Structure 1
Amino acid sequence: MKYLYVSAAIAPLLMIAPAVAQAADAVKPANREAVFSTGVAKGRDRLDSATSTSALRESEIKVLGARSLGEVLRNIPGIRAEYGIGEGNANYSIRGLPLSGTGSKYVQLQEDGLPVLEFGDLSQFTSDMFMRSDLNLSAIETIRGGSASTFASNSPGGVINLISKTGDAEGGAVEATYGLNYGEKRVDGDYGYKISDTVRMHIGGFYREGEGPRDVGFTAYKGGQIKANITKTLENGYVRVYGKYLDDRTPAYQFVPIRVTGTNADPTFAGPTNFNLKTDSLMSPHNGNILTLDGDNNILRDDVRGGQHAVSKSIGLDSQLDIGGWTITEKFRVADISGSNMSFRPIAVAPAAALAFVYGGPGGALSFATGPQTGQAIPNPTALNGNGLLTSSLLLYTKVNSLDNVTNDIRASRVWKVGGGNLTTTVGFYKSSQDYGTDLSFLNVLSDVRGDGDASLIDVRTAAGVPTTQNGYIAYGIGGALYHRTYDMNYGVDAPYASINYHVGKIAVGGSLRYDMGDVKGTLYGAELGGGRLGVTSVDMNGDGRISLAETKVATLPLGQPGRVDYNYDYLSYSAGVNYRIAEQLAVFGRYSRGGRASADKILFTPAVNYNTGKLVDSESAYDTVKQAELGLKYRIADLTFNVTAFSARTGERNVQVNSNAAGDIQVENIVRGYKAKGVELEAAVRRGPFSVTAGATYTDAKISKDVLHPEFIGNKPRHQADLIYSVTPQVELKYATVGVNVIGTTSSYAQDTNQLKLPSYTLVNAFVQVRPTEQVQLMLNVNNLFNELALSDVEQAAIPASGVVLGRAYNGRTASATLRYTF
């Protein structure tokens, strides 16, 4: 039934479209660099808009040599991107808004003006997992704060919009990329064509395969996508139909053991012996076997090497028509999203001899459970792999039953002549339906710490020879039956909105409102729901006819005792601003906004919901609010652009956070707190002849302003929040070559909210060279992390433990690639 979700407004548009035809497309501004259309009522010159915006065009994106979407977005001022996990499930925020959990809670990621997922922080599945940067990409537009609160749902921090090519420029390109010091082979292509004077099309995509930038011992990257659209231009607008098919596998680079010396205030981080933090991970062909129970409590086998498997099939409509003085814009998309997310995640690291005692008692013995040394004893645990370490780890298995979504956004705008100025009015209605249907299992295994894709699982026996593990499994669950769950949820959103803007002379004044109404329904299964719902049993998992100790600790679902979820919520968002264009080249603006972000799966399996009635225990758990004030200046002449914005924000936060307790043990904690932040955001670009420089920087002073569970945190900096993040890209563009570097960096931050252990500052230099021997041929060389610097993304311990070993994640070391491109 959901595929009949198209709003009634579409039908008349489709009937009108064929009736009119002419060679003119929808009105496009002459100076496209200055016009911005994301998160606003109508596209307009940015110097006439009281918003803080940025845009990266295709020509700017391709020189970055980014290996993932996160590596592209890190170059946009105001955006914090933590992408140490790789391609997909990265963390994004804007300005000082918190990254207390995972994903992009306050920032909405869109493709062509509609969200990829309604909520950007769904557990194990975030929006960027189902998005790719390739030759289809025309531009990336971002709006920070401002009217993002009222022109999109669940986006009070801002909107990041990937805009596709539509065939306005005929021709295309094909390119092949080869990893010079890492495993990647990739082919990209795109083509735009004018079928007639009034019809054009574009098609493009990529396919890649390889081990990737880290040594994992198997093909971790495999897949690609294809996107296509066809546009009919009309006398009064256009109608476009588009589609996308993505089927791609990427690895999830999880936390690894890191040795740390020095003090919390001045630590030194290094990899364990025989383990390189910049090129290794604990993934390997020897530790990937998943054995668990599925959503019906049947034995299921899978493999961690499946990684983050994203499958997205979508079709959409994008139209704009001028009818009776009104401009009517209709955007509709239906997406069938499936896949899985499997990863290997350490939760504790300790000397091998200590873990032999923990799991095997006095005289406990170790042996290899998998790999080329399967069955061989480990006589000297302290010398194992030269570092003597073992990890108690999770095999994380999450299967998507449905992340399907249907989204429709229709709006009508009209410009009225009033008192010598232009009064622009807009009304619209947004409607979406987002499924969240997943099966989740956390399985507990024991692994050694070895690089080069050679890590193995480890077995333990007591002194009497009794096995306490089975093929490396400590238990077929964690903490009894924690995090063995099934979600079958649907989130419906209805949101009418309106705006008014009056532009007279040098002044533009405007405001907008949005009223979000949510309907949340579903069923949950999991032992955490309480009420005596037991979830641990004995199962012969390996089918040998015997029940081992590990097989007495199998997590099962209490299928006869479901948890009910059935609640509604509503909230108002608003934004108001004034823009004064002092001169043709200079403008100043001020804006105040309040936006909301509805709670999604992060409040499930918490006390926020009464699972007998399905209602919220506390209505405040339904959503969080963000209040922001902005004051900015914009300056633009032919060869110089300069934008600076001062901001202040206050945020309420209900979330789930993975951190550590005072002993350094990993824990999952529900948090209820508030944040406040203030700062300055800078964006500049200058060109002189063949020389050009683009730069962005954000200074942020952020604090935890309240905390229900940890009042001692009040006044502390939020974890991972640096005072300064920045990017600078100088380049020289000659007739036959372009040479430049892309420099990104951050000052130090704290690993956790306790403000003890510091994550060091870093600066990463990425170099690029483009050679164009002919007009159609281009050879590109990109080197990311040119100086092979160790840069930490995150560390889970709040302070240096007695063992001197923490769990953390580093960005990739030096990677070099060559690309040969042919344009036609």
Structure 2
Amino acid sequence: MKRGTLFLAAAPLALATPAYAGTTANVLSAPKVENEAKTAEPTQEAEAPAKKANEEVFSTGVAKGRDRLDSATSTSSLRASEIDKLGARSIAEILRDIPGIRAEAASGEGNANFTIRGLPLASTGAKFLQLQEDGLPVLEFGDISLSTADAFLRADLNLAAVETIRGGSASTFASNSPGGIVNFISKTGDVEGGAIQVSAGLDYDMRRVDFDYGAKIGDTLRFHVGGFWRDGEGPRATGFKTTQGGQIKLNVTKEFDGGYIRFYGKYLDDRSPVYDVTPLAVTGSNSDPEYGALPGFDPRKDTLFNRNFQTVTTLDGDNNVSNHENRNHAVVKSFGLEGKFEVAGFDITERFRFADISGHYMGVNYAQFVPAAFLAPAFGAPGGTIRYATGANAGQTIANPGALNGNGLAAMLLIGDTKLNSLDNVTNDIRASRVWNLGGNDLTTTVGLYSSHQTIDSDWAWSAVLSDINGGGNGNLLDVVTATNVKITQDGVLAYGIPGSDTLHRSYRMGYTTNAPFASVNLRLGQLAIGGSLRYDFGSAKGTLLGAELGDGRVGTAPKDMNGDGVISVPEMSVAVLPLTRPGVVDYDYSYLSYSVGVNWRIAEPLAVFARYSRGGRANADRLLFSPIVNGDGSLLFPEAAVDTVKQAEAGVKYRNGGLTLNVTGFWAKAEDTNIDSTNGDIIAREYKAMGAEFEGGYRAGIVSLTAGATYTDAEITLDYLNPAVVGNTPHHQAKLIFQATPQIVTDRFNVGATFIGTTSSYATDSNELKVPGFVTTNAFVQFRPVDRVTLAVNASNLFDVLAITAVDDATLPAGGVAKGHVLNGRTISASVRFDF
């Protein structure tokens, strides 16, 4: 209740250790064959402590790596060899197979939405869940607008494993990650050898080459290098090459008595499509809607970007005309070091990375679907006509709009054109651990310091276009012409900005500094372990902003000849421009305390129980900006809005014996969220609670194995300072049950199996009116090894071509029968051949 009176006062301005999951290690993995050996280790074996038989050491989000049955945390890991079978085409699709995580993988390669254990997903990105690469965050904040961390990650043969911790000590061993951590761990050459893999789409246009190789250079020196290159149209029909690029990663490790030092680098340059909003036919009622494909447009296989709409013309950050491709572009140039040393009985671990990150985001962020016959009067031309603006029929009048493309529909599309000038970050984490003998018992202590600086330097130059709804990459932009033959559009562009507004043309020049000392202690008394940890985050936000929303008489629109023809057309009369000489300022500090306490009892070798309580925080970054929360002098109107807190309790039992692993965890969470609603731009200032249970386990008998997981969540909005009507409702996107299951058969010569991933229904918005149906998708795989070191594989994602809707932007059933949906890709089948050496 700390913000009650403050946010009520702001209302007029607002016109915002449980069970381990051994899904892929040891007891759940199938028998190894020779060509899998190099991918079998999920962690850097040379640096890991000695392991007992059947022990599984987990090191992400904890003070010191321990066997999972000895740690009061809830964790999962996926080996690279298992990830290969998932049929995942993106990072988000990989995370769909991890219990507790809701991953909305409908947008393509990057810019997906993630949440965990019922924590709110009020807007976009991953607010409470941090994505890491080799133990350091990809981005300090997982929900930077139009710049989510998964956009700058790619899975290839460099990947050794994915480790995940849910809740627990994630609050105290990383900043801004109270919900959990997902760590993508790279191979380091500790297993010598390499591989070359060539892949191609069988029912979609994709060609890809992957490689990796690791070896010893000397007795104490080793390296690993790998990467990929790909190109093609991608999983949906666009009519042009939308996917193109790749990455290369290299690391070199020097071992010495008591430790090692590793230098590494990465270069990623990759272009990919963003699918985002797509039209859906819908009938029925709010509580029982029936969604489907429109005539001529399949939401699983088509997209609103197409061969006749490949570029957008806007103004850049200096108000100069600029043309941008309708593809996402991610560029990462990073280097870092990691080391472990022994000093005076202490184990010192140091991690440092500098990442030069830039690129471009391009997506359909909002759409309004209307009958094509109503397009002219709806957009200011009663009695007028519509014409093709692009394609082979450009300039031709559409005589029968009601029959256009078999569906008679048109759309106004809001294009989120965002230049990512710099998302550079520099991070450093140093910690020292020591095990003390205390009366014959082990007392482990850890102290550390984390520091980072995250840049957010971007230019928003959005625009609105008119389009038909046509699949197969054959869509066209449309022009509207008045009855007196005056075009109110220009080559399909309705407005160089937001129609009727000067908003969303912005520039961010921000820097966020984070510092966090932390400490932990763990006392092991025989089979009982008791531990606790603290972290104190303090930081600052400093920078400048440009945008008409800042008020004070700043310029918002001006005439501009965008196509250079010497004539000012109707859309060019009011082009959104930046007030370059009158920037706004941001300058504030924040701090918060996180803590976590837990107890673990190893009752017997195969059985343990645990409990944990944690409090963590998440500093809010750019989601506060361009709102009345920020004062004219750069301070916050309500300093409390700088940080949202999450409180969590969890308790569970974990069992591992022979070929059987069973884990059950109960959890409770209470969270604050200050945010901007991505569907309508409203400020969100709320509190939530969630409770539920997780199950995860696996069984192996000979050549047959099964892994499975399920998470039941009961979540509720408990307080809303600006919209009390939603109190007591279920947060949108939140399903009661999500689940995964992977049965497979593995022999020396072949693997065959499938992964089933599903969710029950959820609500489209927080008003809890329109339902989004549940679904189950099936990814199937066959791997065949005709000879040693050669693997032939066929992999199918969404084998049964299910219409899997992750979200709908409409609050109620649309009167026109066309909803704004977000849909997983339809069936895509690929084949590959891999040579190991």
TM-score tier (shorter): over 0.9
Percent identity, aligned pairs only?
A: 57
2:597 aligned with 1:544: no
Could you tell me how far apart the structure 2 residues matched to 1:515 and 1:191 are? 41
Match for residue 398 of structure 1? 418
Matches within 5 A, 1:798-813: 798-813=811-826
The 1:252/1:806 distance shift into structure 2, 3 A limit, reads same
- Of the candidates 597, 603, 610, which is equivalent to residue 624 of structure 2? 603
Match for residue 48 of structure 1? 70
Match for residue 610 of structure 2? 589
Whether the aligned pair in 2 keeps the contact of 1:26 and 1:234 (CA below 8 Å) is no
2:643 aligned with 1:623: yes
Whether the aligned pair in 2 keeps the contact of 1:123 and 1:602 (CA below 8 Å) is yes
* CA shift for structure 1 position 68: 0.9
Could you tell me how far apart the structure 2 residues matched to 1:33 and 1:96 are? 31
1:64 is paired with a residue whose SS is: coil
Residue identity matched to 2:820: L
Whether the aligned pair in 1 keeps the contact of 2:191 and 2:215 (CA below 8 Å) is yes
2:160 aligned with 1:138: yes
The 1:593/1:364 distance shift into structure 2, 3 A limit, reads same
Could you tell me how far apart the structure 1 residues matched to 2:46 and 2:491 are? 67
2:522 aligned with 1:504: no
Match for residue 308 of structure 1? 328
Could you tell me how far apart the structure 2 residues matched to 1:289 and 1:635 are? 55
Whether the aligned pair in 2 keeps the contact of 1:26 and 1:320 (CA below 8 Å) is no
Whether the aligned pair in 2 keeps the contact of 1:24 and 1:235 (CA below 8 Å) is no
Could you tell me how far apart the structure 2 residues matched to 1:383 and 1:607 are? 46
The 1:502/1:602 distance shift into structure 2, 3 A limit, reads same
Match for residue 471 of structure 1? 491
Q: Which stretch shows the higher mean deviation, 787-796 or 409-418?
A: 787-796
Residue identity matched to 1:553: S
Could you tell me how far apart the structure 2 residues matched to 1:209 and 1:446 are? 29
Residue identity matched to 1:361: A
2:807 aligned with 1:794: yes
Matches within 5 A, 1:260-279: 260-279=282-301
* CA shift for structure 1 position 394: 1.6
Could you tell me how far apart the structure 2 residues matched to 1:496 and 1:338 are? 29
Residue identity matched to 2:338: D
Cα deviations by residue, 1:463-521 (Å, 9 ceiling, x for unpaired): 11111111111111104221100000000001000001101101100100000011110
Match for residue 773 of structure 1? 786
Could you tell me how far apart the structure 1 residues matched to 2:699 and 2:190 are? 28
1:147 is paired with a residue whose SS is: helix
2:794 is paired with a residue whose SS is: strand
2:677 is paired with a residue whose SS is: strand
Could you tell me how far apart the structure 2 residues matched to 1:64 and 1:544 are? 52
Could you tell me how far apart the structure 1 residues matched to 2:284 and 2:730 are? 22
Match for residue 322 of structure 1? 342
The 1:366/1:113 distance shift into structure 2, 3 A limit, reads same
Could you tell me how far apart the structure 2 residues matched to 1:438 and 1:626 are? 29
Match for residue 513 of structure 1? 534
Matches within 5 A, 1:147-158: 147-158=169-180
2:178 is paired with a residue whose SS is: coil
Residue identity matched to 1:590: A
* CA shift for structure 1 position 303: 2.3
Matches within 5 A, 1:235-254: 235-254=257-276
Could you tell me how far apart the structure 1 residues matched to 2:206 and 2:394 are? 31
* CA shift for structure 1 position 321: 1.1
Matches within 5 A, 1:396-475: 396-475=416-495
Whether the aligned pair in 1 keeps the contact of 2:686 and 2:720 (CA below 8 Å) is yes
* CA shift for structure 1 position 781: 0.7
Could you tell me how far apart the structure 1 residues matched to 2:182 and 2:361 are? 24
Could you tell me how far apart the structure 1 residues matched to 2:477 and 2:725 are? 40
* CA shift for structure 1 position 708: 1.4
Query: What 5-or-longer segments of structure 1 have no aligned partner?
Result: 1-22, 660-666
Whether the aligned pair in 2 keeps the contact of 1:25 and 1:234 (CA below 8 Å) is no
When the two chains are superposed, the root-mean-square deviation of aligned CA atoms in Å is: 1.2
Whether the aligned pair in 2 keeps the contact of 1:750 and 1:758 (CA below 8 Å) is yes
Could you tell me how far apart the structure 2 residues matched to 1:403 and 1:766 are? 34
Whether the aligned pair in 2 keeps the contact of 1:411 and 1:427 (CA below 8 Å) is yes
Whether the aligned pair in 2 keeps the contact of 1:346 and 1:391 (CA below 8 Å) is no
Whether the aligned pair in 1 keeps the contact of 2:687 and 2:717 (CA below 8 Å) is yes
2:738 aligned with 1:716: no
Whether the aligned pair in 1 keeps the contact of 2:124 and 2:678 (CA below 8 Å) is no
1:560 is paired with a residue whose SS is: coil
Match for residue 365 of structure 1? 385
Matches within 5 A, 1:608-757: 608-611=629-632, 613-659=633-679, 667-757=680-770
Residue identity matched to 1:331: R
1:636 is paired with a residue whose SS is: strand
2:315 aligned with 1:296: no
Whether the aligned pair in 1 keeps the contact of 2:477 and 2:491 (CA below 8 Å) is yes
Match for residue 772 of structure 2? 759
2:115 aligned with 1:93: yes
- Of the candidates 74, 85, 90, which is equivalent to residue 63 of structure 1? 85
Residue identity matched to 1:702: A
Cα deviations by residue, 1:214-239 (Å, 9 ceiling, x for unpaired): 00011111001111111111111111
Residue identity matched to 1:514: R
* CA shift for structure 1 position 25: 5.3
Whether the aligned pair in 2 keeps the contact of 1:108 and 1:155 (CA below 8 Å) is yes
Match for residue 231 of structure 1? 253
1:480 is paired with a residue whose SS is: coil
Whether the aligned pair in 1 keeps the contact of 2:478 and 2:491 (CA below 8 Å) is yes
Residue identity matched to 1:776: R
Could you tell me how far apart the structure 2 residues matched to 1:346 and 1:274 are? 21
Match for residue 5 of structure 1? none
TM-score by length of 1: 0.95
Match for residue 38 of structure 2? none
Residue identity matched to 2:139: L
1:668 is paired with a residue whose SS is: coil
Match for residue 8 of structure 1? none
2:379 is paired with a residue whose SS is: helix
Cα deviations by residue, 1:511-539 (Å, 9 ceiling, x for unpaired): 00000011110000000011221311111
Whether the aligned pair in 1 keeps the contact of 2:46 and 2:190 (CA below 8 Å) is no
Query: What 5-or-longer segments of structure 2 have no aligned partner?
Result: 1-44
1:226 is paired with a residue whose SS is: strand
1:407 is paired with a residue whose SS is: strand
Could you tell me how far apart the structure 2 residues matched to 1:70 and 1:401 are? 24
Could you tell me how far apart the structure 1 residues matched to 2:763 and 2:48 are? 49
Whether the aligned pair in 1 keeps the contact of 2:375 and 2:386 (CA below 8 Å) is no
Residue identity matched to 2:518: Y
Match for residue 664 of structure 1? none
Residue identity matched to 1:171: G
Could you tell me how far apart the structure 1 residues matched to 2:744 and 2:46 are? 37
The 1:168/1:260 distance shift into structure 2, 3 A limit, reads same
Match for residue 209 of structure 2? 187
* CA shift for structure 1 position 74: 0.7
Whether the aligned pair in 1 keeps the contact of 2:710 and 2:739 (CA below 8 Å) is yes
2:197 aligned with 1:168: no
Could you tell me how far apart the structure 1 residues matched to 2:48 and 2:821 are? 50
Whether the aligned pair in 1 keeps the contact of 2:300 and 2:824 (CA below 8 Å) is yes
Could you tell me how far apart the structure 2 residues matched to 1:193 and 1:761 are? 47
Could you tell me how far apart the structure 2 residues matched to 1:252 and 1:270 are? 21
Residue identity matched to 1:532: G
2:584 aligned with 1:567: no
Whether the aligned pair in 1 keeps the contact of 2:505 and 2:547 (CA below 8 Å) is yes
Whether the aligned pair in 1 keeps the contact of 2:556 and 2:576 (CA below 8 Å) is yes
Residue identity matched to 2:617: G
1:29 is paired with a residue whose SS is: coil
